[in-house]
Amino acid sequence: MIYIQGISYDDKSSYQRGAKLAPPLIRKALYSESSNLFAENGVSLSSLDMADKGDFLIPDYFDIETTTKANLEDKSPIFTLGGDHSITYPVIRAISMYYPQIDILHIDAHADLYDEFEGDKYSHACPFARIMEEGLAKNLVQVGIRTLSNHQREQVKKFGVKTLELRDWELSKLPYFENPLYISLDMDAFDPAYAPGVSHYEPGGFTARQVLQIIQQLKGNIVGADIVEYNPTKDHHDMTAFLAAKMMKEILVRMA
Ligand code: MN
Ligand code: MN
């Protein structure tokens, strides 16, 4: 079984709101008649054992963890549609009931390692600092990164993060993950040309194909994933929704 949940929450977004509108729009793109449910490896989502728990409008940040715990009935993998990137920390706290030591593949333009951002330790700029502080991840590997500040470079060192900056990127640098794996995909990892529906435009990003290649070569036990930071209020012709849906499809067939 794979559990799916939508976390409609963007109160920790520092610059623009809108990501809380994303979950139903990604689902709509996924099930749109414009495409089919087959991933590129020939497996159809219709053949997977999935339980969609629906979308949850979250009033308070700390409800994300309790909601996820309630949706996670057993050790099955869970796929979350965000929401801004702050949701990843409480989702991983929930998963830690079953998997206390995971590896994380974090795909993003930003390292999201700030100790605090504008006075908030739970800002969408901070989730991976909280995760590393609590020892929830054995290994954190970041790809797509192209915005490191001095403070974040220090945080990378402090927490022993493997941050693969996009300026030096080669697919062969992606390590093998030994522990149960969680994938966190921030849609601004893509170049804004591919994904205009995000709050933070950071040019020089991944192509859709580069991220597909990363996902398609992952092996091992994927116990959780999220797609975050899709902001429908910035999108053009739903193109970012369709990109998110494509990535969701490719990740789900690898979770199965
Ligand atoms: Mn992020
Ligand atoms: Mn980002």
CA–centroid distance, residue 222 to ligand 2 (Å):
22
CA–centroid distance, residue 35 to ligand 1 (Å):
28
179-191-4 Cα angle (round to 5): 45
pLDDT band for position 225 (cuts 50, 70, 90)? very high
The full set of domains in the chain, from first to last, is 2-255 (3.40.800.10)
pTM confidence score? 0.98
Map the chain to HEC letters: CEEEEEEECCCCCCCCCCHHHHHHHHHHHHCCCCCCCECCCCCEHHHCCEEEEEEEECCCCCHHHHHHHHHCCCCCCEEEECCCHHHHHHHHHHHCCCCCCEEEEEECCCCCCCCCECCECCCCCCHHHHHHHCCCEEEEEEEEECCCCHHHHHHHHHHCCEEEEHHHCCHHHCCCCCCCEEEEEEHHHECCCCCCCCCCCCCCCECHHHHHHHHHCCCCCEEEEEEECCCHHHCCCCHHHHHHHHHHHHHHHHHC
Task: List beta partners, residue 190.
Answer: 206
pLDDT at 142: 98
**Whether pLDDT at 220 is above 90:** no
Distance CA 245, CA 29 (A): 6
CA–centroid distance, residue 112 to ligand 1 (Å):
6
CA–centroid distance, residue 106 to ligand 1 (Å):
8
Q: What is the pLDDT of residues 75-108, one digit of tens each?
A: 999 999 999 999 999 999 999 999 999 999 999 9
pLDDT band for position 191 (cuts 50, 70, 90)? very high
CA–centroid distance, residue 144 to ligand 2 (Å):
9
Q: What is the mean pLDDT of the chain?
A: 97
For 126, other C-beta atoms within 10 Å of its C-beta total 24
94 backbone dihedrals φ, ψ, rounded to 5°: -65, -45
CB 141 within 8 A of CB 175: yes
